[in-house]
Structure 1
């Protein structure tokens, strides 16, 4: 990345433009809320995808400990970095050499830069300022691995939409302005493939929209056949660059409405089978392996909707005993998890995680939340919490305490989410994959 920067500075000598006006000049985190970062960005431009990765600025005086605060234009970030000694000596870059860097190689390097850093790099020169409109860069960007999981939090402060994104690889909060959204978009439906879906009531009309927070592009979806507040879920197919939005029962539990599916390839909603008469245990849904799942009390088990055929089917998977509240969470490779509290009394309660055995149609316990995390997350037995997942990561958030906890199913590791953006009492949270190439069309 340093090499690419030197090349651009030579080719665009003295040409400096301000970064995209995506971010307001405000502070997302403070020193007490955000953990200190301890490792500089590597000069090779490679991306650190490890959840324990850090980001910082190079300290040019390694013999002294120094706290460096940055507030880049175009993206609102505050990172605290402390260095004890130099990891690599500074290398002098020859402009006459690096200015000749081939275009394809430059795009390949930039495509591997974490998306949030691109806004900082756009102030280098005119050429980089227009990089998000460069088809060559977007092509390379679409072919590189994902930056890694992020958490997107959305809330409204005095009717002004607010959004912060926590990068798990960088362990840093970034603030993204959502002033481009219309006032009626105040329910966060979810995110998939770099796109985020919102819904709301515009007067008496129920609407949904899809946007890309990084590019600040959005569009309202066509009206559904039935003007009712619906439970929605969005699914992105990156292979054919399309997305679908599934609308199930009425938000208040009216199951007489047919299932509707929006397909971006044909830009319209189509009607499907009405969900059979069941008593839903929760309106929370999980989408796994082209199937949509909901919990039901009567009959006991799951309702499964097959997106390919458009039909509902009941699965008699009985819930574990003494389950107080459960959330369905979709994992990778057809894995479906059930997360919930179990126990009759507050002193005996615990949080457990089960996985559905599709062959035996039974829930198999795979993990338990350690007591110290359970007590810290839910101090009161009646405390409400939210749970959602992506790529075998499960996130727990407490409504009243503003805390977040991540569980890695594969590594069996629990870790707290540092920062202050979860502390808003009305914040809505989901996993988010930042991508510039995610199209809303």
Structure 2
């Protein structure tokens, strides 16, 4: 043995087995591996090599994506300059910003599963899109309605779109079913007989209160003096994308769907889309108080987020209606919420899973009172999201609202 070693120069030959790379995987196995990559990686699959490009476009790859369990949400972020900016989403799993594929319009109004619903402000035309793939399609026109649009809800899989029409208390609903690609005719909604009455300070529901000339009080406006002596109106001022938004709780198949939305005066309305009944929930604060409010749904429950000022500071709290009363379930740390004091900031919120995204916007050009925050409701943990830096010398974007969706390559429009 020693002589053999000496004859070979004193070195033993080493035999190394090279590890197989992804290019050596069977096509079916490669598709399964690629399907489990982070969704942001899907944009780069086709640029790696020919094999990956073919795999990423195959039906088997989409089937493998469908077998992946639920993914962490993306939040489609909206700014005041939405028309001038590419679509941006916050990837909750990576904690980073991601670009979305071309959006069909500047005004999203609802989202469900992996899809976002857009509405044209001038015509009311509706378009559904998958922001991850860029695929989109226009929905057929809804049936003609004499009543104005009040709220839009999107829910279930296959998805449905519900248009809430009219003015309180005369509401109706038209529903689009993607499985049949048809709208049903608008049907009237009835008020729950056991609904809790609104606060004594709240205005009478629109349509029930008449002025001295006999005309309906259509806008439900209540005027009051602010702390500084300025005459204020209680009408809700909503951004274009949140004007008709709602929060929906339901089963995965869309059963037992309940939509929550705000009336023009800031009251929370719950609408059972299955039983076709609605109720106005009691107010958290008097109608003449100064505050910003929005409603969200996450983990199958509905919450209300309220930003208000009290005793020379600002507070941002999350409430749930349970047992006939509002209960506080989370609150932003005072050191964070105090930054909104005196800014007249507005909150627009969206939920997904156990998290709530809160976009705070004051309209201040220097960014004071602006920011996006994530709240884990169960643990009451809050974090401020990093600023989204603009490209090509643009300023960092301030977002006024967001819509959540699950990034799924396989979801068809």
Indicate whether the TM-score tops 0.5.
yes
Aligned counterpart for 1:267 among listed residues 181, 199, 202: 181
Aligned counterpart for 1:115 among listed residues 28, 35, 39: 39
**Offset of residue 369 of structure 1:** 1.2
Q: What is the distance in 2 between the residues matched to 1:154 and 1:367?
A: 25
Matched position secondary structure for 1:266: coil
Distance 1:274 1:420, change over 3 A: same
Partner of 1:395: 357
Partner of 1:135: 59
**Offset of residue 398 of structure 1:** 2.0
CA contact (8 A) 2:46 2:56 kept: no
CA contact (8 A) 1:261 1:272 kept: no
Partner of 2:304: 338
Partner of 2:129: 211
Aligned counterpart for 1:375 among listed residues 334, 338, 341: 338
Q: What is the distance in 2 between the residues matched to 1:214 and 1:374?
A: 33
Partner of 1:221: 139
Matched position secondary structure for 1:130: helix
Partner of 1:58: none
Q: What is the distance in 1 between the residues matched to 2:39 and 2:82?
A: 29
CA contact (8 A) 2:357 2:373 kept: yes
Partner of 2:108: 188
CA contact (8 A) 1:150 1:432 kept: yes
Residues 43-58 of structure 1 mapped to structure 2, 5 A cutoff? none
CA contact (8 A) 2:35 2:64 kept: yes
**Offset of residue 372 of structure 1:** 1.5
Deviation per CA, 1:21-70: give whole Å up to 9, x if none.
Answer: xxxxxxxxxxxxxxxxxxxxxxxxxxxxxxxxxxxxxxxxxxxxxxxxxx
- Give the number of equivalent residue pairs: 330
Which one has the largest radius of gyration?
Answer: 2
Aligned counterpart for 1:356 among listed residues 303, 321, 325: 321
Pair 1:258-2:219 in alignment: no
CA contact (8 A) 1:343 1:350 kept: yes
**Offset of residue 249 of structure 1:** 3.1
Pair 1:153-2:77 in alignment: yes
Pair 1:105-2:105 in alignment: no
Distance 1:167 1:428, change over 3 A: same
Aligned counterpart for 2:68 among listed residues 134, 144, 157: 144
Q: What is the distance in 2 between the residues matched to 1:363 and 1:197?
A: 31
Q: What is the distance in 2 between the residues matched to 1:120 and 1:93?
A: 26
Distance 1:216 1:177, change over 3 A: closer
CA contact (8 A) 1:164 1:421 kept: no
CA contact (8 A) 2:375 2:382 kept: yes
Deviation per CA, 1:142-174: give whole Å up to 9, x if none.
Answer: 111233122212458594562011212212212
Partner of 1:246: 162
Partner of 2:205: 278
Partner of 1:439: 412
**Offset of residue 141 of structure 1:** 0.8
Matched position secondary structure for 1:365: strand
**Offset of residue 93 of structure 1:** 4.7
Larger mean Cα displacement after TM superposition, 420-429 or 132-141: 420-429
Distance 1:119 1:177, change over 3 A: closer
**Offset of residue 124 of structure 1:** 2.3
Q: What is the distance in 1 between the residues matched to 2:378 and 2:397?
A: 30
Q: What is the distance in 2 between the residues matched to 1:231 and 1:432?
A: 19
CA contact (8 A) 2:101 2:132 kept: no
CA contact (8 A) 2:292 2:347 kept: no
Partner of 2:259: 292
Q: What is the distance in 2 between the residues matched to 1:313 and 1:158?
A: 34
Partner of 1:314: 279
CA contact (8 A) 2:307 2:347 kept: no
CA contact (8 A) 2:294 2:347 kept: no
**Which segments of 5 or more consecutive residues in structure 1 lack a partner in the other structure?**
1-90
Q: What is the distance in 2 between the residues matched to 1:255 and 1:131?
A: 54
Q: What is the distance in 1 between the residues matched to 2:325 and 2:308?
A: 17
Matched position secondary structure for 1:265: coil
Q: What's the Cα RMSD here? A: 3.2
Partner of 1:408: 376
Matched position secondary structure for 1:122: helix
TM-score by length of 2: 0.70
